[in-house]
Amino acid sequence: MKVLSMLLAGLTVGYAIGDIRPFDSLLSSTAEFGSLATIVNGLTVLALTACLTSVALARSSARGVLVVAIGAVLVVLFRTVGMVTGMFGDWAGAVGAGALLGASAVLAGRHRGAQASLAVAAIGAGLLGTALDALLQVDDGPVFVWDVVGAEDAVVPERAIIMVIAALGGALSLFLAHRDVALQSHETRRTLLVGLPLPVAAGVLSWFAGGHDSGDAVWFGALAGMAVLAVVAAFAFPGRDGRVLLVLFASATIGSMGFAVEDSLQLAVSAALLVVGAGIGYRWPQLYVGLGGLLLVAGAALIEGYVALPPVSQFALPFVVAYAVASTLSTAPGSLAVALPALFTMTLPVTVYAASYQPGLSSSTDAVATRTSEPDHLMLSVAGLVVVAVVTVACVLLMRRPTQNPAAR
């Protein structure tokens, strides 16, 4: 039941991530691309809230954490089905998903199965949820009809139905699994030290990389800065807890946001590979094997422009990512709450756009986004391979640290 509760909680968080989208600003509904306001987006707020929630609940009772978790589930649900709209709804969805992630990490404790279920479900739903929505809406697929509060709410019926099922099941399973358990407190100081500046700094770097006047040099500079940020944050965690952050950052760098999903079969295969990879990583955890798999994927991306690779290579990434992440667990609850959003907050936009203004028929002007630059594929692949190599070396150094379960401070 504990594993099931984390699975459903992770699905709820993941679908909320897919609904937030990385670059939807929460400061202003009219924020323009490249403006400073876009740094404060839904994923940044989610990451900050997850960190603060895990720290605030570090010494709470299971019942208190349950109240927060179930309340957050309901907030995310109301946002998804259109009952909380506008800018307030955007903030509510981001804060609710972050609170659910932080509370779920605390409830999972150091149970490897629960942590792996939470991580894989959040990652899978966050990466594949939007593709599932699109497949459910195609002409030859199933058609769902659901009345929501006004057509202006732009609610996706398919997402709403899935979220209702996951959220209600998650709330019930969270209560049944954790109502009588005793939670162990965990360290909070380093959670705050890493978890608060990390998403903000990553947002600043992403803003520089995606600016309308940025070139390839700026983009690669932002990637290098992101790698330094990830390594420093990983070593700031106690013991070996930084490994999960490094693995997720490496996964984001080599293209985990681009799982190959074009039809229902590919979606099912990608989801199945995530589950199988996590299961094998849970049963036979070998971090170096997982890092070696990431290096192979990065190497394949480097040569795919010159050598015809079999189609199966594009499905290797979800399996390897899930295996590597599961091999890094268990970790402190606060460290898990901080690391999981990194897969989404520490991803740089690859294609750079600039806003060009063309006169419209009226006195106003219309902004048209046009592509101005895109880093070369070869350079992108080399950079990805270098980043994964740096992450591998950092993980090797972290593995030399003694295993510890630090006392709460």
| Within-domain flag for 84 | yes
Cα(408)–Cα(309) distance, integer angstroms: 49
| Within-domain flag for 355 | yes
Q: Is the per-residue pLDDT at 371 higher than 50?
A: no
Span 263-288, pLDDT tens digits: 788 888 889 999 999 999 999 999 99
Side chain identity at residue 288, one-letter code:
Y
| Within-domain flag for 226 | yes
pLDDT level of residue 118 (50, 70, 90 thresholds)? very high
CB 183 within 8 A of CB 62: yes
Name the 3-class secondary structure at 154. Answer: coil
Span 45-56, pLDDT tens digits: 999 999 999 999
pLDDT of residue 154: 62
CB 10 within 8 A of CB 118: yes
pLDDT of residue 104: 96
Task: Provide the whole-model pTM.
Answer: 0.88
292: domain CATH number is 1.20.1250
Span 120-172, pLDDT tens digits: 999 999 988 878 877 777 655 445 544 444 444 567 777 788 888 999 999 99
| Within-domain flag for 407 | no
Cα(68)–Cα(243) distance, integer angstroms: 28
Please tell me the total count of domains within the chain: 1
Q: Any idea what DSSP says for residue 245?
A: H
| Within-domain flag for 409 | no
Which token pair is 371? 């592509």
- Quick one: angle between helices 62-80 and 86-108, nearest 10? 150
Cα(328)–Cα(244) distance, integer angstroms: 6
Residues 6+ apart with CB under 8 A from 147: none
Which token pair is 403? 């295993």
User: If 0-12 CB within 10 Å is exposed, 13-18 middle and 19+ buried, where does residue 305 land?
Assistant: exposed
| Within-domain flag for 198 | yes
Domain that holds residue 240: 2-399
| Within-domain flag for 405 | no
| Within-domain flag for 87 | yes
Q: Which residue has the higher pLDDT, 312 or 141?
A: 312
